[in-house]
């Protein structure tokens, strides 16, 4: 039987798949309220449309792989199908796995695709502040050359601003005082020499 007929049949009997169903398989078979209806099924259908029963068998395939079967029926009077479809349904006999059809009936059994979501695990590093165990003047803990007492004394003098100012203020004046004393002594010597000659 054509899938368009099966999907219309499923819509007519108000079949709805469950939310966990991923796909559906279908099969239509025939039943009758008369014992001899299938001796001439077409004549039976025309003579008493209520006497020929069409049944839609549905297998629902779920995400866990299990199957759920359901059956809904209508009389030929309530759901008309063509004569060839009636004969095909009669030939099916009782529906089983071998007679099921895979049809895409979006309105009654929409195909659902199972998706797997992968969440990447992230590792966060927690930084705990620690006190410096090295010299505060050397926080990077870079090895230094050991200084001798003489080098340490020179370094301290070069970094001492008071000593720098003191040295710049004392030494120039002491050199000027020495020079002026020499000039004075020379002048006194010259004066005494002239007085001695004038006598």
- pLDDT tens-digit readout, 127-180: 555 554 544 455 555 555 555 666 565 555 554 554 444 444 444 445 545 666
CB 137 within 8 A of CB 41: no
CA–CA separation, 41 and 1 (whole Å):
17
Range with the poorest average pLDDT among 45-59, 105-119, 129-143: 129-143
Domain ranges of the chain: 3-102, 149-198
What's the whole-number mean pLDDT along residues 119-128?
54
Q: For residue 177, what is the enclosing H or E element?
A: helix 161-198
Cα separation of the two ends of the chain: 164
CB 55 within 8 A of CB 29: yes
Q: Of 75, 22, 16, 83, which is closest to residue 48 (Cα–Cα)?
A: 75
Residue 30 pLDDT > 90: yes
- pLDDT at position 175: 52
Q: Confirm whether pTM is higher than 0.85.
A: no
Range with the poorest average pLDDT among 81-85, 147-151, 195-199: 147-151
Q: Of 129, 133, 149, 150, which is closest to residue 141 (Cα–Cα)?
A: 133
- pLDDT at position 124: 55
Mean pLDDT highest for which of 32-36, 82-86, 124-128, 155-159?
82-86
14-40 burial string, b = 16+ CB within 10 Å, else e?
ebebeeebbbbbbbbbbebeeeebeee
- Let me know how long the chain is: 199
CA–CA separation, 56 and 103 (whole Å):
13
- pLDDT at position 96: 85
Six-digit token string for 37: 């209806």
Q: Of 68, 81, 112, which is closest to residue 6 (Cα–Cα)?
A: 81
Neighbours of 81 (CB within 10 A): 19
Between 124 and 66, the higher pLDDT residue: 66
């Amino acid at each position: 039987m054509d899938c368009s007929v099966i999907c219309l049949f499923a819509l007519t009997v108000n079949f709805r798949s469950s939310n966990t169903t991923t796909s559906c398989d279908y099969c239509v078979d025939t039943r009758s309220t008369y014992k001899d209806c299938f001796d001439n099924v077409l004549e039976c259908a025309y003579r008493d449309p209520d006497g020929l029963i069409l049944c839609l068998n549905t297998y629902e395939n779920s995400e866990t792989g299990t199957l759920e079967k359901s059956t809904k029926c209508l009389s030929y009077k309530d759901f008309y199908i063509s004569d060839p479809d009636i004969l095909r349904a009669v030939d099916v006999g009782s529906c089983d796995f071998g007679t099921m059809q895979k049809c895409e009936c979006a309105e009654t059994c929409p195909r659902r695709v199972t998706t797997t979501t992968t969440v990447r695990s992230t590792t966060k590093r927690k930084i705990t502040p620690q006190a410096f165990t090295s010299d505060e003047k050397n926080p990077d803990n870079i090895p230094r050359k050991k200084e001798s007492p003489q080098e340490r004394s020179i370094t301290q003098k070069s970094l001492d601003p008071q000593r720098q100012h003191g040295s710049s203020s004392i030494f120039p004046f002491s050199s000027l005082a020495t020079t002026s004393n020499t000039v004075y002594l020379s002048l006194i010597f010259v004066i005494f020499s002239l007085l001695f000659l004038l006598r």
